[in-house]
Amino acid sequence: MTNVIRALAAASVLAAAPAAGQTLLLDVTTTLPLAAALDNPCTATPEAIAFTGSTNLAQRVWLMPDGKLRLQYAESTAMQGQEPGLLTSVTYAVSGTSERDLEFDPMAFEILDFKKVGRTAGTDDNFHSVLVLAFDPQNLQLQLKLEGACDNGMP
């Protein structure tokens, strides 16, 4: 059921009709593996929560008549994590989706997508994982990386 919802969300963004005169440069749908050790930056004690998961990413890039680029994307991310070496069975989970339709001058930029970190028993932790989507105008692709941030957005 969740995959159907993700597919419908991606289709709704990517089904937007092209503007007159724009040229499709890239149309890619892929699943990208994610793995990172994130520290909860909101605690004084360092943590190294090992997250693994994946992001399903659909993206299109268009060249507009005025020379600008148009990026449409829809992503769905799910990750699980655990602190290595802990005797307790605390597990962490991150999941969420986002979609954008942006028009911009051809240049590199990053989009920060904050996703709340949950703990065992369905409680929220006090930090977010940040999915960083970096646009590269040379290959027109989004590159992904993960970072941590406090609930107040501070690194």
Q: Residues 114-127: pLDDT tens digits?
A: 998 888 766 667 78
Single pTM value for the model? 0.80
Q: How far apart, in whole angstroms, are the C-alpha atoms of residue 143 and residue 67?
A: 23
Beta-carbon-side half-sphere exposure of residue 60 (alpha carbons within 13 Å) = 20
Q: How far apart, in whole angstroms, are the C-alpha atoms of residue 81 and residue 104?
A: 35
pLDDT in tens, 44-76: 888 888 999 999 999 999 999 999 999 999 999
Q: List, in sequence order, every beta strand (DSSP E) within the chain.
A: 23-38, 49-63, 69-82, 91-104, 109-119, 123-135, 142-150
